[in-house]
Amino acid sequence: MERFALAAGGEDLASPVFGFLLVICCAFFFCLIVGVRNADDQTGDFFAANRSLSVGRNTLPMAGDYILVTALLVPVGSVALGGYDGMVMAMCSVVGLVVLYVLAEPLRNTGRFTLGGVLESRAPGRAVRLSGAVVTLAVCAPLTVVQLTVAGDATAYLLDLSGAGAAQVCTVMIGLLMITFAAFGGMRGTTVLAAGKAVLLVAAFAGASVVIVNRFDWDLGALLAAAFEGSGRGEDYHGFAHLFGDSTTGRLDFISVSLTVAIGSGMLPAMIMRISAARDGRTARRSARNAVVGYTLFAGLTIILGLGAGAIVGGQTLAADDPEGNSALFLLSDALADGRDGALFTLISCAVFLTALGGVSGLTLAVSATLAHDVYAKARRRHRGGDEREVRVARWAVLAFGVASVVLAVLLHGWSILFLATYAIAVASSVILPAVVYSLFWKRFHRTGLLWMVYGGLACCTVLQLSSPTVSGDPTALFADQDFQWFPLRHIGIVALPVTLLLGWIGSRVGRRASAETGGDAKAEARILAGLDTV
């Protein structure tokens, strides 16, 4: 992103910077306070807040955990540059939360707080736990790197630090804060941070939306017309499936990304952990229902901001700064300041910062849970060790994963890493969702089918993504100067999902069920229906 200036604040530049630094300091001291309070946490409390969260205490955190940095930046740019297509994508993210609402009660009724645990509820065995851990890492690691990179860029942008390595230094500092928070805060700390993040985001986006519509005399029709003119896309702005071009490949790409977002964005391992923190299945379902309502409001505000970016900043300026439009939110907030007041810019920047911090903390907690609980406690030690040792292992896992993520974020700075987020959400929609649905509702689904589905689907996603235009053969690709892509779509879900479903079905048909697994079906059904708490 080009650095324009926080200079929007003029002589009051210190005020926005002070406000932003104040948010960072408050977040850091909150980490310390939560760490002292949770120093002796047991496993159930550290990972799932003792499954004690009510509807009121879990609704805002659920909506907050659902909003990652990519959910802030991508939709605004998509609406500004793509018009109707961007609006469709923004609303598809609402569908993702609706999918989670449908699955919330049976997920909570399994009594498990990791993906491996949920999958093992139907097909017991260490191999199943390990497969859940592999998929969790495949989803959480790329998303964490993306969010750390974006947060570092945003922080350097706000502080007007343009020197060599400034963004990398900011990424390291934010990474250290994330490691501290996730290691000591646990689920309770993440819950408070996610709730605060949701409130700040809605306040920031609502404030920006008011400023935008006020500029057009509260006439949404005038705003839409101005966005149409400013986009420079002509009639394509009001058309369907033109975001990636008018070719058949472009239309398939749009359908694929819409499908992927609609069914996969709610299936992140962090969201499964959030569901597990509810008191019971009914509480989880009601929390998800309320979160759908709140997030729908947020998606509407996102569309207004996207239209505002197209109308006020202009499509050519947005595309020149970032062809994908991911800097649209910052360019818009800078334009709305209009040389008078940097408060709105600061508010949005703080919201982005807390979104990144909360997002990476939740993802890191999910990774530490699967490494400590699924791999260490269940697969390796076979239930030996005790809660205190497991929590210690989880905190060391946070440190290891956090350091590795920060190093990767620093090394990949300046590269086109959007393919990481694309890959992660593709795995969530094409592997996690089918595996969870089969595990919860198909009586004949068993271990062989599950392992075929998980590893086969993961391999399919990896091969297709590495062979797509997001990695090579395109000016915005990771390796823009090379061309070894053979799969034409950027978003692979439209192919990977059917392949994974087929692998799970074939594996369950050809595999031989052990007698113990057959007897376990009745127990699994009873657990899902009655909500027995087992880990």
Q: What are the CA-CA distances from residue 490 to residues 141, 166, 461, 487 (Å)?
A: 20, 31, 12, 8
The number of domains in the chain is 1
Q: Can you give the pLDDT at residue 482?
A: 87
Domain that holds residue 144: 55-530
Asked if residue 403 lies in contact with residue 182, where contact means CB atoms within 8 angstroms, the answer is: no
Is 9 a member of any domain? no
Asked if residue 262 lies in contact with residue 96, where contact means CB atoms within 8 angstroms, the answer is: yes
Identity at 20, one-letter amino acid code: F
Question: Rounded to an integer, what distance in angstroms lies between the CA atom of residue 281 and that of residue 275?
Answer: 9
Q: Can you give the pLDDT at residue 13?
A: 44
Residue 362, H or E segment: helix 343-369
DSSP 266: T
Question: Rounded to an integer, what distance in angstroms lies between the CA atom of residue 74 and that of residue 218?
Answer: 25
Asked if residue 469 lies in contact with residue 257, where contact means CB atoms within 8 angstroms, the answer is: no
Is 134 a member of any domain? yes
| Residues in Cβ contact with 171 at an 8 Å cutoff, skipping those fewer than 6 apart | 148, 149, 151, 152, 406, 409, 410, 413
Q: Can you give the pLDDT at residue 36?
A: 53
Give the DSSP letter string of 222-281: HHHHHHHHHH--GGGGGSSS-TT-SSHHHHHHHHHHHHHHHHHTT--HHHHHHHHTBSSH
Is 494 a member of any domain? yes
- Closest Cα partner for 508 from 436, 458, 428, 453? 453
Q: Can you give the pLDDT at residue 280?
A: 85
CB neighbour class for 349 (10 Å; exposed up to 12, middle 13-18, buried from 19): buried
Is 255 a member of any domain? yes
Q: Can you give the pLDDT at residue 454?
A: 94
Residue 346, H or E segment: helix 343-369
Asked if residue 279 lies in contact with residue 54, where contact means CB atoms within 8 angstroms, the answer is: yes
- Closest Cα partner for 414 from 156, 190, 201? 156
Q: Can you give the pLDDT at residue 40?
A: 52
> pLDDT tens-digit profile of 400-458?
998 899 999 888 887 877 789 899 999 999 999 999 999 888 888 888 889 999 999 99
Asked if residue 360 lies in contact with residue 144, where contact means CB atoms within 8 angstroms, the answer is: yes
| Residues in Cβ contact with 146 at an 8 Å cutoff, skipping those fewer than 6 apart | 69, 70, 417, 418, 420, 421, 424
Asked if residue 9 lies in contact with residue 19, where contact means CB atoms within 8 angstroms, the answer is: no
Question: Rounded to an integer, what distance in angstroms lies between the CA atom of residue 462 and that of residue 478?
Answer: 15
Joined together, the tokens standing for residue 477 give 């690709």
Question: Rounded to an integer, what distance in angstroms lies between the CA atom of residue 522 and that of residue 464?
Answer: 38
CA angle at residue 45 from 39 to 47, to 5 degrees?
100
Q: Can you give the pLDDT at residue 46?
A: 79
Ranges of residues in the chain whose predicted pLDDT is under 70 = 1-25, 27-41, 158, 160-164, 338-342, 379-387, 511-535
Asked if residue 422 lies in contact with residue 465, where contact means CB atoms within 8 angstroms, the answer is: yes
- The CATH number linked to 81 is 1.20.1730.10
> pLDDT tens-digit profile of 323-366?
777 788 888 887 887 654 567 777 887 788 888 888 888 898 89
Torsion sign over Cα 209, 210, 214, 215:
negative
Q: Can you give the pLDDT at residue 495?
A: 93
H helices of 7-125, where?
A: 14-37, 43-48, 55-66, 69-82, 84-109, 115-120
Asked if residue 29 lies in contact with residue 260, where contact means CB atoms within 8 angstroms, the answer is: no
H helices of 277-342, where?
A: 281-308, 315-321, 328-337
Is 246 a member of any domain? yes
Q: Can you give the pLDDT at residue 168?
A: 85
Q: Can you give the pLDDT at residue 528?
A: 66
CB neighbour class for 237 (10 Å; exposed up to 12, middle 13-18, buried from 19): buried
Residue 357, H or E segment: helix 343-369
Is 72 a member of any domain? yes
Q: Can you give the pLDDT at residue 455?
A: 95
| Residues in Cβ contact with 256 at an 8 Å cutoff, skipping those fewer than 6 apart | 489, 490, 491, 492, 493, 494, 495
